[in-house]
Structure formats: structure tokens, C-alpha cells
Amino acid sequence: MLTTKMLGNKLELTIPFAWQGITVQQIFREKWKTSKKQAHLFRMEGRVTFKGEKIGWDKPLDAGSKLLMDLFDTQPTEVEPFYLDLAILYEDEHVLVVNKPAFLNTHPNTPGETETLLNAVSFHLQSEGKGASVQQTHRLDRDTTGAILFAKHPLAGAILDGMLEKRLIKRTYIAAVCGTGLKKKDTINLPIGRDRHHSVRRRVSPSGQAAITHYKVLKTEPYNKLTFVACRLDTGRTHQIRVHFSHIGYPLAGDELYGGRPLFTRQALHAAKLEFTHPITLERLAVRAPFMDSPPIFKDIDLEKI
């Protein structure tokens, strides 16, 4: 874990002893694994300084050296702020994890749409006088609840995008599916594509994109004919969990689009845990999202054991 602190809108980074002799170039490309585009931008704009001067990116640095980095955009935000009382699960100067409620879009899908989680996060940051270059790293369906990860500045966003692409951000979901005959533990490896007969729905298709869902049974409710499962995704296809379980004959409860019984007002799906390496400090984080439904959908499930 790196030692950092914020000085206004600038990040002070202290070179640890384990990094003796490292260069700025290596920090960006090897430690943070950011994109070439982001590294080039910081280099060309002179946004990394040492003792008040621009630093050569190939200059070896001594342990204890303090770099100053200008992380935040000064451009005005293009995301219109919208007030919402956010359920914040984790926050520091670089990232934010929010517990998304049901019936709220992650981001605008149509011109002029402003009542979304992204707009609410923009309001939160602007109200604190912070930079407004917020971006979500991934998304959840409108009716799905749970943890969503946001980056507060472009460098963190670029690093997290790369981590997501390399499947280094682990997401665990809890779902209630109709039926009680599932194996205790299994993997669903079936490609998913668009349903040409329905503009919104997806389906398992040989010509679709690879999609892998691992699951384990947490408990069953025979009287409701429900099974509660924890799911981990290797891929992030649209409606992946919903499509996979519907295809094998166990649609999510409340998910009428995919054949689930209307036991709840929404599909019974919750993003329960996010595990990732912090994009800047390199600390390993695990963030759990409490259930939000009233009346509850997921009863007697201990998130600490997920």
C-alpha cells in the first residue's frame, strides 16, 4: 500500500523503500498499469513534479522522494447534478462505492435524462467542492440493487477500466431463483447475444459473446420453491445472470421478462460484494453492500460469509 495524501487537488505520493530506483514511467505503466494515453497526457502536460519542478520520466527516484501529481480535471462537468441521499459504502479522494437502490438507472440512457445514480454522484462531489470528472466503472440494471464503483478522476477511471477489462475486479451477486433442484455448486458457460424478436431481451446464442457465471447455493425455501445463490461473474454481459438462470430453467424470482414468477416488485438480484485493488494506493479492498428491500427479499443471508 502506498503512502499518499491530498494537497488541495494534487496528490502527494511518497516513494516506498521497495520502489527504490523506480521511475515515473514505471509507476504509471508497471505499478498502476494505466493506459499509454493517460501516461502520455500526464507527461506532456507536466502534471507530475518533484520539488516544484517537472521531472524526467526516466529518472530513478530514491525511496522517500515525494512526487506531486495533478489528478483532477478543471473542465466543467457535463453531468447535470441531481440530489439523492446516497448510501455510500466506501469513499476516498479517488474512488467511491455506492449502494444503488432499485428502480434507478445507473447513468442517463436518453438525452435530457438526469435522475440517475451518476447524476446523483455528480451532485455529491460538486457539493463537496470536488472535481466533477466522475465515471462509473460498471453498471447495474435499473431494477438491480447493490454496489457500484465510481472513479473520481480520469487517472483512477482509466486504471479501473483496465482492471475491469482484465477481470481483476471481482463482483459477487446474490439472487433468488425459481425452483429447488440446482446443483450445490456449478458454472454456467454459455454465450449470450441479442434476442432478434425483442429489443430489450438477451438470450443464449451460439453466435453471442462468451459469458461465464459461477454460482453456489446458499439456501433453499421449499415452501416458496426458491433457491438463493451467490454468483460470481468472469464476464459482464447485459442481463448475464438473468439470462443464464432462465436458460437452465431457474429464472430469477420477480423477473417476468425472463419467465420468473412475480413474487417481488423487481428481479431478485443484488450486487453484494466488490473486491478490487485500489487504483492509486494499491490497497486490496472488499466492499459489501447491505440489502435494501422493504419488505426484505433476501432473508437470513450473512454477507460477511459471501
Catalytic residues: 141
Write the secondary structure of the chain as one string of H (helix), E (strand) and C (coil).
CCEEEEECCEEEEECCHHHCCCCHHHHHHHHCCCCHHHHHHHHHCCCEEECCEECCCCCCCCCCCEEEEECCCCCCCCCCCCCCCCCEEEECCCEEEEEECCCCCCCCCCCCCCCCHHHHHHHHHHHCCCCCCCEECCCCCCCCEEEEEEECCHHHHHHHHHHHHCCCCEEEEEEEEECCCCCCEEEEECCEEECCCCCCCEEECCCCECCEEEEEEEEEECCCCEEEEEEEECCCCCCHHHHHHHHCCCCECCCHHHCCCCCCCCCCEEEEEEEEECCCCCCEEEEECCCCCCCCCCCCCCHHHC
The length of the chain is: 306
Q: How far apart are CA 232 and CA 241, in angstroms?
A: 9
Q: How far apart are CA 159 and CA 187, in angstroms?
A: 29
